[in-house]
Amino acid sequence: MATAEFNLRDFQSGRGVGQGGTAVLRRTVRLIAISLMLLIGLTATSAFSAGDAEKGEQIYVQRCTLCHGEDGDGMGPAAERLNPPPRDFTMAQYKIRTTAFEEIVPVDGDLVRMIHDGMPGTAMPGWSDVLTEQDINDLVAFLKTLAGLEEEEPGQIIDFGAQVPISPESVEAGRKLFHEDDRCSECHGQSGKGDAVKKLKDDSGYRTWPRNLTKPWTFRGSNDPRDIFTRITTGIAGTQMPSFDDPASEGRLSIEQRWNIANYVNSLAKTEKVVRPENIVIRATRVAGPVPVTPEDPQWQEAPSSTFLLVPQLITPDRFFTPSNDTITVRALYNQDEIGFHVEWDDRTRSIPGDGAAKKISEPGLSEDAVAIQLPVTLPVGAEKPYFLHGDSRHPVNLWFWRSGSTTADPSVSLVTARGSAGETTARDADAVGLQGSGSYHEGTWQVVLRRSMTTADPAEDLQFVEGAFIPVAFSAWDGSNGERDSAHTLTTWYWLLLKPQPGNTPWLFAGFAFVLILLIEIWWARTATRRARS
């Protein structure tokens, strides 16, 4: 606008057509033409962005029916093997929405976001690398027809008010509100890990688990305070997560209170437990004294941690599709005599067969919680490793088990040598090789320590630990309240264990020797050069 006004003044200044007015006129015409083109382009873009439900149906049939079903009722062929189950679009219950309480019609942007980004922690992927923007808009238009919302106007957007900045004062205020009258902790636990005290089901009767708020990468939206504020305000449709902006509820919170809770939830994130793809080596630290026996010993925190993804066992019968545990964090310490692993994973339930309270919140067939460490019997040559599921006939593995026990049996440690998932498995005496363990459960987290002597009397059956070598290591976990037992469990692939030697004087000796050697060579060279110059 300022440019057009400036050119017009130049044109009117008396320079005339013959004094540069032609150039000014041309620039003005060009500006008008460009403006018209932009206007046409914006109009075309607006028309292009409007969703076409018929085209969206074609995309839905090709991309979405496997999980969500032909009718959009969440009963696709894969549904029974997914946890959480696919969303039922016919009920218009969308997890991510910014419309106010009891407003059933979402804004298109909410649906676009779910399709574009996917839903972390579920089988719903992001489609931005497969579908175009227009494809997504078409799909949104069709999804609304499944619930009969195609003619409805979106509901009113929630009132965000003035966002409360994150501060120690806001976080503390949110913490008090979170725990007050068990407002949030009843489901999400004292530490926010979702350790359940009662069995929860959604409106369709499926088992649901409270979100582990310390793992923000599993949030369906994100752990940005604005997204958390939105969930607190709207609730999550079809689940036990209520709206705290319900005018009819005695538990209604003010906008400021909701922002404070959002800031507190944001502060719960355990970033040290984030899976980092580049972190594939467990670096065992050498200690001068004994390896700690109990999981709570603070010395374990001195060792660097590595966190790995747990995935369901889908290779051999019975294949497992609905895990509840998703990561495991490992540390290792050793001395000249023994090595110890500290294994930690979040588990919403303490599974104790025979315990009435544990049975009430578990799936049918309650069994023990458990963890296993897998190691090769012999160090591999080069990059060759045993098959990662219980090794193979040529490359056997040691399996160190810890089980949580029951009302009639104490926690136990056991040792197995395996030669393939369908091959020979030999139970052995754990005490004979010095394998010991202990575990503790607190507020949704298991911590387990497994220790063994560095070497054993039978190298043909047991791994002999050595410093400086890269040793393959893998892990498995069982959640007994989730129906996990035997081959139904989660596991990792192979990673590496490295026993780092304690820093000593050896490097300095080598450096000193190299310095002296170089000095002697220089003296010899100088003397030789002097003799040649004299001759």
pLDDT digits (tens), the chain, 535 positions: 443 333 333 323 333 334 344 343 344 434 444 444 334 333 333 333 689 999 999 999 999 999 999 999 999 999 999 988 999 999 998 988 999 988 889 999 999 999 999 999 899 999 999 999 999 999 999 999 999 999 999 989 999 999 999 999 999 999 999 999 999 999 999 999 999 678 888 888 888 889 999 999 999 889 999 999 999 999 998 889 999 999 988 899 999 999 999 999 999 999 888 999 999 999 999 999 999 999 999 999 999 999 999 999 999 988 999 999 999 999 999 999 999 999 999 999 999 999 998 998 888 899 999 999 999 999 998 778 999 899 999 999 999 999 999 999 999 999 999 999 877 899 999 999 999 999 999 999 999 999 999 999 999 999 999 999 999 999 999 999 999 999 999 999 999 999 988 765 444 334 444 444 544 554 444 455 444 444 4
d(CA 471, CA 490): 21
As to burial, measured by CB atoms within 10 angstroms (0-12 exposed, 13-18 middle, 19+ buried), residue 29 is: exposed
Could you say which architecture CATH assigns to the domain 278-499? Sandwich (2.60)
Give the residue ranges of DSSP H helices in 75-181.
108-117, 133-146, 168-179
Confidence (pLDDT) at 521 = 59
| Beta strands 281-286; 327-334: pairing state | parallel
The answer to whether 215 touches 241, Cβ cutoff 8 Å, is no
**Structure tokens belonging to residue 416:** 């197995």
Taking residue 153's Cβ as centre, other Cβ atoms within 10 Å add up to: 8
Look up tokens 């839905």; give the residue: 60
Q: Name the CATH superfamily housing domain 53-146.
A: Cytochrome c-like domain (1.10.760.10)
d(CA 269, CA 224): 11
**Structure tokens belonging to residue 274:** 């984030």
Torsion sign over Cα 179, 184, 187, 193: negative
Return the SS3 of 499: strand
Confidence (pLDDT) at 101 = 81
Query: What end-to-end distance do the CA atoms of the chain give, in Å?
Result: 89
Bridge partners of 417, per DSSP, are: 398, 426
User: Could you give the C-alpha distances from 278 to 105, 271, 306, in angstroms and in order?
Assistant: 43, 15, 10
d(CA 380, CA 372): 20
d(CA 485, CA 366): 9
DSSP annotation of 255 reads: H
The answer to whether 244 touches 177, Cβ cutoff 8 Å, is no
Q: For domain 168-269, say whether CATH 1.10.760.10 is its number.
A: yes
User: Phi then psi for 71, rounded to 5 degrees?
Assistant: -95, 0
Name the nearest CA neighbour of 279 among 319, 322, 329: 329
DSSP annotation of 294 reads: S
